[in-house]
């Protein structure tokens, strides 16, 4: 293609880009100005619509794949739960030889799709969505969503042991991530949007909107909640459930399970025992699943072929234990009633372990599907086996296995998923049985305590708590960031290019301004993205006379001048950006922000705050001391540094970051300590730091003398 055709793109492309820029500009402006209620009513409804329709599309694809692979090719129809027709399924295999082949072919197709097009669609999906929330909520690719739908439907539909919650959660999270890019949401809003996408997608396809909404807040951490996502998740889950139900029905997945009546406190002991067993089985599930995944990772075969090997082994297992095929929800339905007694006891007892192995072979090998569904089957038959083995010996257990099956699901997967509250609510909604919650609390509580002692989880992307999350850790370590507006810290932009500037001219202007990246504005002066000199240089031969707009990175995130530095810093820590443009309400570039600008402004704000404290403290003052190589403080923790009594280290500036001091903080050469105390005491600390300059006592000059700071990197201007 010649330079002329590249310089003048086809009209539809130009029209589409212009529309995208206008939508992005409008969204960025509207959502920044909107109140919390207005913003999340709009976003929650949009995410809910996406989640509901995404669940419908995936469920339909899964039904078609199951009918074709297992029904037509293998001649086997698995049972279905009450909410999906309550079909009994085939009594045996019409073509037993076809089962291993069909599952293997499904794994092969899935592997080729995933590893050939979108490798990040590998696995169960929920971990990838959780990781995106913590690290890059705007970074889930649309390609991954499409591949996930097709690959997961084929994996599960051909008989792979997997659930549909992981794909649905990742699908909804992917669309929420796309929404965050389209509307240029702040990193904090993008995190909440992706969290709400996870919860509403899972809640929709399981018909459990309340549990899905709570899951969005609980599944991100092992021992904490993301409370900011709760209300948006409520809105998204309600809308998603309403849409999915409009197509597939509103009844609970497992029908209306008989309500449980607690007749004696002694009956809770049975559920306490299920809690112990469920916690141990949950640990076996996590260790077995990831152990098989590690084993497949060491196989000397191409990654795309490993799911086929896993599928072949699952098919062979299914010849003896057909309950390992597909989602297994129909077998849970059988276990909730008298149909459990028709299943041989040895299969009931063996099934939890067979499902662990089959799930590791199907998904741990690189296939695509969820691990929530298999976890429910494992837990359900853990409770079923407990009842089936003991109810004849202990009539007090009753003649109905349903309470034990339901509580088994809650205890086993709720504990190992580290989301006990959400899983209890979801299973209660799926069985329309809230009366089971009292014995469930006993079982789930005990199972969770067992899992906590081992510090294990089925979702390896979970962080321990909010303090470990990058966004919360930044704000916790630099608490004054949310008090400094971007306009207070920004520098004047060295160069703002017009979108119609020829590439050769842009390259010349960037060289003259001594920058390697520059913001680009459209004809109305609105920010459209950033162009890099390296991108222009790579294609200068073809695009010399083309407008620079053809090479603009439209995903480069700006920050509005009224937003605070915590927003800007989160952008830089969750993306590859080392700086960010600052725009006004009309999206015109008014400045730029680099890390050094923020550190300098933060120091100024911190020193101002400490100065006010010093004025109230009388004789105390604010001073600085720098730790030098070989000094008495270098390499020691603050706890062991023998600080003079009455001296407080309020902050440590280390390079371009500010460290919040703790007793375990190790002092390093070059650290600048901000001190609060009397001149004599801080001077003594200055001597310990090995200072050879400053006041006569060895301390740096008082902090009232503003530091000079450092220059912003030229590539960010």
pLDDT per residue over 28-49, tens digit each? 667 767 788 888 999 999 999 9
pLDDT at 417: 93
Statement: residue 269 has pLDDT above 70: yes
Please give the Cα distance from 77 to 55 (Å, whole number). Answer: 22
pLDDT at 641: 76
Please give the Cα distance from 53 to 46 (Å, whole number). Answer: 11
Bridge-based pairing state of the strands 579-583 and 589-594:
antiparallel
Statement: residue 445 has pLDDT above 70: yes
pLDDT at 528: 84
pLDDT at 657: 67
Regarding predicted confidence, which is higher, 16 or 467? 467
pLDDT at 216: 92
CB atoms within 10 A of CB 541: 8
Model confidence at 148, in pLDDT bands (50, 70, 90)? Answer: confident
Please give the Cα distance from 70 to 315 (Å, whole number). Answer: 11
Rounded (10°) angle between helices 420-431 and 209-218:
170
Max mean pLDDT range (35-44, 470-479, 612-621, 706-715): 35-44
pLDDT at 478: 65
pLDDT per residue over 633-649, tens digit each? 788 888 787 777 767 77
Pick the CATH number of 37-248 from 1.25.40.20, 3.40.366.10, 3.30.2420.10, 1.10.3080.10: 1.10.3080.10
Report, as an integer, the average pLDDT of 341-368.
93
Model confidence at 624, in pLDDT bands (50, 70, 90)? Answer: confident
Please report, rounded to a whole number, the percentage of residues in the chain having pLDDT higher than 70.
Answer: 85
Report the range of poorest mean pLDDT among 61-75, 289-303, 374-388, 559-573.
559-573
Note the residue count of the chain.
Answer: 717
Helix, strand, coil shares of the chain, percent, nearest 5, are 60, 10, 30
Please provide residue 528's backbone torsions phi and psi, each rounded to the nearest 5 degrees.
Answer: -120, -15
Question: Are the beta carbons of 660 and 691 closer than 8 angstroms?
Answer: no
The domain spans of the chain are: 3-22+474-592, 37-248, 265-300+318-467, 598-688
CB atoms within 10 A of CB 499: 21
CA atoms within 13 A on the CB side of 706: 11
pLDDT at 504: 87
Report the range of poorest mean pLDDT among 174-178, 609-613, 624-628, 654-658.
609-613
Burial tier of 5 (Cβ tally within 10 Å: 0-12, 13-18, 19+):
exposed
Question: Are the beta carbons of 55 and 556 closer than 8 angstroms?
Answer: no
36-41, long-range: CB within 8 Å, 24+ apart, which pairs? 39/189, 40/192, 40/231, 40/232, 40/235, 41/235
Question: Are the beta carbons of 213 and 234 closer than 8 angstroms?
Answer: yes
Which residue is listed with tokens 């070989």? 630
pLDDT per residue over 75-133, tens digit each? 999 999 998 888 888 888 889 999 999 999 999 999 999 888 877 777 677 888 888 88
**Sign of torsion, CA 316 319 325 331?**
negative
pLDDT per residue over 573-620, tens digit each? 777 788 899 988 778 899 999 888 887 887 777 777 666 655 555 545
CB atoms within 10 A of CB 460: 11
pLDDT at 5: 35
Q: Which CATH architecture has domain 265-300+318-467?
A: Orthogonal Bundle (1.10)
pLDDT at 701: 41
pLDDT at 320: 93
Question: Are the beta carbons of 254 and 82 closer than 8 angstroms?
Answer: yes
Report, as an integer, the average pLDDT of 243-251.
91
Residue from 566, 540, 572, 534 nearest 553 by CA: 534
Radius of gyration of the chain (CA): 30
Burial tier of 659 (Cβ tally within 10 Å: 0-12, 13-18, 19+):
middle
Model confidence at 3, in pLDDT bands (50, 70, 90)? Answer: very low
pLDDT at 98: 94
Rounded (10°) angle between helices 187-206 and 165-182:
150
Statement: residue 679 has pLDDT above 80: no
**CATH superfamily of the domain spanning 598-688:** Regulator of K+ conductance, C-terminal domain (3.30.70.1450)
pLDDT at 479: 66
pLDDT at 708: 35
Residue from 383, 370, 377 nearest 444 by CA: 383
Regarding predicted confidence, which is higher, 424 or 27? 424
pLDDT per residue over 111-122, tens digit each? 999 888 877 777
Statement: residue 710 has pLDDT above 50: no
Please report, rounded to a whole number, the percentage of residues in the chain having pLDDT higher than 90.
Answer: 40
Statement: residue 393 has pLDDT above 60: yes
Could you list the beta-strand ranges (E) of 30-103: none
Report, as an integer, the average pLDDT of 340-348.
92
Max mean pLDDT range (418-427, 518-527, 559-568, 605-614): 418-427
pLDDT at 247: 92
For the domain made up of 3-22+474-592, give the CATH fold.
Answer: CBS-domain (3.10.580)
Arithmetic mean of pLDDT over the chain? 83
pLDDT at 124: 72
pLDDT per residue over 181-236, tens digit each? 888 787 888 889 999 999 999 999 999 999 999 999 999 999 888 888 999 999 99
In this chain, the answer to whether the domains covering 37-248 and 265-300+318-467 adopt an identical fold is yes
Statement: residue 285 has pLDDT above 90: yes
pLDDT at 183: 82
């Amino acid at each position: 293609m010649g330079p002329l055709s590249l310089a003048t793109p086809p009209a539809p492309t130009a029209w589409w880009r212009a529309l995208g820029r206008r939508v992005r500009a409008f969204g960025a402006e509207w959502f920044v100005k909107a109140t919390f209620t207005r913003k999340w009513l709009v976003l929650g409804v949009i995410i809910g619509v996406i989640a509901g329709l995404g669940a419908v599309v995936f469920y339909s694809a899964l039904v078609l794949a199951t009918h074709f692979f297992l029904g037509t090719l293998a001649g086997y129809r698995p049972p279905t739960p009450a909410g999906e027709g309550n079909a009994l399924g085939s009594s045996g295999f019409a073509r037993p030889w076809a089962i291993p082949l069909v599952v293997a072919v499904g794994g092969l197709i899935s592997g080729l799709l995933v590893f050939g097009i979108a490798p990040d669609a590998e696995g169960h999906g929920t971990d990838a969505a959780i990781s995106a929330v913590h690290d890059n909520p705007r970074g889930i690719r649309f390609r991954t969503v499409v591949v996930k739908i097709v690959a997961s439907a084929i994996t599960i539909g051909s008989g792979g042991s997997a659930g549909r919650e992981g794909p649905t959660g990742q699908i909804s999270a992917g669309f929420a991530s796309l929404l965050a890019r389209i509307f240029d949401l702040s990193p904090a809003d993008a995190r909440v949007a992706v969290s709400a996408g996870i919860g509403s997608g899972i809640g929709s396809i399981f018909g459990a909107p309340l549990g899905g909404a709570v899951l969005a807040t609980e599944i991100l951490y092992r021992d904490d909640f993301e409370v900011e996502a709760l209300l948006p998740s409520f809105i998204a889950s309600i809308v998603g459930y309403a849409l999915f139900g409009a197509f597939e029905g509103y009844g609970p997945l497992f029908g209306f399970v008989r309500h449980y009546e607690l007749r004696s406190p002694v009956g809770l002991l049975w559920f306490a025992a299920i809690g112990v067993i469920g916690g141990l089985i949950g640990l076996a599930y996590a260790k077995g699943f990831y152990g098989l995944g590690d084993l497949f990772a060491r196989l000397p075969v191409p990654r795309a072929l490993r799911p086929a090997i896993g599928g072949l082994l699952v098919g062979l297992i299914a010849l003896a234990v057909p309950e390992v095929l597909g989602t297994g929800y129909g077998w849970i339905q059988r276990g909730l009633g008298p149909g459990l007694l028709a299943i041989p006891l040895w299969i009931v007892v063996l099934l939890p372990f067979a499902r662990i192995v089959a799930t590791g072979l199907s998904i741990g090998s690189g296939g695509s599907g969820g691990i929530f569904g298999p976890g429910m089957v494992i837990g359900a038959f853990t409770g079923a086996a407990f009842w089936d083995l003991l109810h004849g010996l202990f009539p007090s257990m009753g003649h109905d296995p349903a309470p034990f099956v339901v509580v088994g699901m809650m205890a086993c997967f709720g504990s190992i998923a580290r989301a006990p509250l959400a899983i209890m609510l979801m299973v209660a909604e799926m069985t329309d049985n809230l009366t089971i919650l009292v014995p469930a609390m006993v079982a789930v509580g005990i199972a969770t305590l067992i899992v906590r002692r081992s510090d294990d989880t089925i979702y390896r992307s979970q962080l321990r708590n909010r303090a470990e999350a990058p966004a919360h850790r930044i704000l916790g370590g630099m608490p004054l960031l949310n008090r400094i507006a971007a306009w207070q810290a920004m520098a004047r932009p060295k160069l703002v290019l017009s979108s119609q500037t020829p590439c050769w001219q842009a390259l010349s202007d960037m060289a003259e301004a001594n920058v390697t990246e520059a913001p680009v504005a459209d004809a109305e002066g609105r920010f459209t993205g950033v162009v890099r000199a390296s991108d222009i240089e790579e294609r200068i031969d073809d695009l010399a006379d083309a407008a620079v707009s053809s090479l603009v990175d439209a995903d480069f995130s700006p920050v509005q001048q009224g937003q605070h530095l915590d927003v800007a810093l989160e952008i830089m820590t969750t993306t590859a950006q080392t700086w960010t443009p600052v725009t006004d309400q009309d999206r015109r570039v008014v400045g730029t922000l680099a890390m050094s600008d923020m550190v300098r402004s933060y120091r100024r704000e911190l020193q101002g705050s400490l100065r006010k404290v010093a004025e109230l403290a009388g004789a105390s003052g604010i001073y600085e001391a720098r730790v030098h190589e070989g000094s008495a403080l270098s390499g020691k923790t603050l706890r062991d540094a023998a600080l003079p009594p009455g001296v407080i280290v309020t902050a440590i500036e280390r390079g371009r970051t500010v460290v919040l001091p703790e007793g375990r903080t190790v002092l390093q050469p070059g650290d600048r300590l901000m001190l609060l105390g009397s001149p004599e005491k801080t001077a003594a600390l200055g001597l310990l730091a090995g200072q050879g300059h400053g006041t006569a006592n060895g301390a740096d000059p008082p902090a009232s003398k503003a530091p000079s700071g450092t220059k912003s990197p030229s590539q960010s201007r």
